[in-house]
């Protein structure tokens, strides 16, 4: 598949979106991030609802918040991911289903008809904004959608320069998962990586290959992942510049203090 026909991450239905939940469940455990849903529920209980999730994807966090009793708006640019979130609605009780609304929109430029007590951008969704201008627009827009004193929680990875500036992808073989519908094996590989050190952006080309138990290739798809890394003091400055006061900065969902090379979990309050 040529670069010109390789599609952006999550842009279309396919193996990436179909296996997202099973892959993410594995990745969160492997990276020690599997307490994130409990963390967001704890913070929602402190803040109260309603809750806005930016880059909500398949509803992994939003549905858990709705089940915990909060009104939630899930916002995502990918129609394919929202379709996966909506597919879960039939499995929820009517009262839970009524608490979740999905909206297809760009997190850097959206307009909703309500304000929120809490906004969250879990599992590095904020990093899909690959310019500082889009990051600032997202924060400006989100602050306008928060009640006075409302809170924003962002989760980013803390950039490790030894991994970002090396040759090629640091972890090219991403293993395999079982397709939740077909039961086939889906193997994931990172084929290439390019890094723009000036813009703090990296681009990776991922391949998803589905095969039967006999080893027959069923589907093979490639998608491009683009993320922007942000340094801790840069992120703090962006938050303060857009009208937020940082209340806490953690490096894990166990609320451990900031440590280089772990996670950036920012809890801030709209002024």
Q: What is the pLDDT of residues 193-236, one digit of tens each?
A: 999 999 999 999 999 999 999 999 999 999 999 999 999 999 99
pLDDT at 5: 59
Question: Confidence band (pLDDT; 50, 70, 90) for 165?
Answer: confident
CA atoms within 13 A on the CB side of 178: 4
Mean pLDDT, to the nearest integer, of 41-47? 97
Question: Confidence band (pLDDT; 50, 70, 90) for 171?
Answer: confident
Mean pLDDT, to the nearest integer, of 156-178? 87
pLDDT at 25: 94
Question: Confidence band (pLDDT; 50, 70, 90) for 161?
Answer: confident
* Domain spans in the chain, listed from the N-terminal domain onward: 3-8+161-228, 32-159+230-270
HEC secondary structure over the chain: CCHHHCEECCCCCCHHHHCHHHHHHHHHHHCCCCCHHHHHHHHHHHHCCCEEEECCCCCCCHHHHHHCCCCEEEEECCHHHHHHHHHCHHHCCHHHHHCEEEEECECCECCCCCCEEEEEECCCHHHHCCCHHHHHHHHHHHHHCEEEEEEEEEEEECCCHHHHCCCCCCCCEEEEEECCCCCCEEEEEEEEEEEECCCCEEEEEEEEEEECCCCCEEEEEEEEEEEECCCHHHHHHHHHHCCEEEEEEECCCCCCECCCCCEEEEEEEEC
Question: Confidence band (pLDDT; 50, 70, 90) for 3?
Answer: very low
Question: Confidence band (pLDDT; 50, 70, 90) for 162?
Answer: confident
Between CA 253 and CA 118 the distance in angstroms is 17
Question: Is the pTM above the cut of 0.85?
Answer: yes
Of 31, 3, 6, 29, the C-alpha closest to 171 is 31
- CA dihedral 271→121→264→36, nearest 10 degrees, is 120
pLDDT at 2: 39
Question: Confidence band (pLDDT; 50, 70, 90) for 4?
Answer: very low
CATH topology (fold) of 32-159+230-270: Rossmann fold (3.40.50)
pLDDT at 103 over 60: yes
pLDDT at 6: 75
Q: Which of 1-5, 24-28, 75-79, 233-237 has the least mean pLDDT?
A: 1-5
Strands 185-196 and 173-178: antiparallel
């Amino acid at each position: 598949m040529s670069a010109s026909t390789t599609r952006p991450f999550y842009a279309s239905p396919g193996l990436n979106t179909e296996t997202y939940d099973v892959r993410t469940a594995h990745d969160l455990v492997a990276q020690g991030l599997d307490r994130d849903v409990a963390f967001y529920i704890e913070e929602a209980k402190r803040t109260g609802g309603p809750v806005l999730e930016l880059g909500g994807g398949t509803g992994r966090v939003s549905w858990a918040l709705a089940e915990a009793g909060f009104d939630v708006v899930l916002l995502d640019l990918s129609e394919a991911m929202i379709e996966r979130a909506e597919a879960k609605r039939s499995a929820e009780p009517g009262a839970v289903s009524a608490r979740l609304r999905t909206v297809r929109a760009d997190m850097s430029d959206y307009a909703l008809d309500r304000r929120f007590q809490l906004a969250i951008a879990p599992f590095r969704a904020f990093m899909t904004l690959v310019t500082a201008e889009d990051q600032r627009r997202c924060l400006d827009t989100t602050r306008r959608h928060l009640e006075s004193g409302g809170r924003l929680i962002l989760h980013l990875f803390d950039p490790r320069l030894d991994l970002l500036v090396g040759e090629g992808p640091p972890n090219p073989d991403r293993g395999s998962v079982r397709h939740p519908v077909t039961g086939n094996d889906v193997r994931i590989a990172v084929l290439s990586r390019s890094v723009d050190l000036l813009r703090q952006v990296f681009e990776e080309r991922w391949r998803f290959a589905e095969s039967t138990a006999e080893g027959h290739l069923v589907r093979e798809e490639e998608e491009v992942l683009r993320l922007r890394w942000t340094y801790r003091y840069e992120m703090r400055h962006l938050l303060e510049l857009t009208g937020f006061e940082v209340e806490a900065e953690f490096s894990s969902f166990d609320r451990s203090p900031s440590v280089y090379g772990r996670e950036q979990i920012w809890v801030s309050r709209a002024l």
